[in-house]
Amino acid sequence: MTTIPREDLVESLIQEGLLREEERFVCEWLTSERLMRLRDVLSRRTRYLTVVLEAVDDGHNQAAVLRSAEAFGVQDVTVIEGDKPFAPSKGVTQGSHKWLTIRRAPDIETAVRMLHGAGYQVCATYLGEGAVPIDDVDLSQPTAILFGNEHSGISEEAVRLADGTFYIPMAGFVQSFNISVAAAITLHVLTRKARQVAGDKYTLTPAEQRELFLQWVLKSLRGATREQARQRLLLVGTEVTATS
């Protein structure tokens, strides 16, 4: 990655709408390389696809799905807890969780209602009747990808509420992948397809990019420095919403 002189980089961030003139001070705490990395990752982030976890209980699996979501540029994850709390293994996430927007829902009905209200269709991984191969998933509108419990899959209620179901075709004797593998394959296939189908709608809006950029700047700082930056932003009228 070519390093741009700091002043030129800050001016670019302001021109692109990621920063306001009065917020340029936040760049003082970060290297040019870090600022460029934030901007580069942000340019490829999407909310056209989102991930939903229904009763995924194992902390390793929870973390693996978060890491795959972050790696493939999917920003939002909705979590519905099952028998165990949502406590992804930090050793597996490798910090990827802090760059995501993680939301909670008390049950699948509430989650689907929220997603429908936000303009998403819900497509669930499912091995039962009516499911289509993953390559046939219709991505002509924003889509929430629903993954179910490691052992029992998605609930019957989720099957009823989902707008569609799909499966990953397999050539061996086993019928399904572990959820961590299934999520990685699914996100690889569907993000690539969605980029082609959605075009400009795939990336974040300017307002979404600015909001995330400021959140990520603060998350790149630590302790007293982070709080100092937050307070100085408040003084210029900028409130940065904290996320999971």
Domains of the chain by start residue, with CATH: 6-44+205-235 (no CATH), 49-202 (3.40.1280.10)
Distance CA 74, CA 67 (A): 10
Residues paired with residue 101 on neighbouring β-strands, in sequence order:
76
Report pLDDT for 1: 54
Percent pLDDT > 90 in the chain is 86
The model carries a pTM of: 0.93
pLDDT under 50: residue ranges of the chain: none
Give burial (CB, 10 Å; 0-12/13-18/19+) of 196: exposed
3-state secondary structure of 48: coil
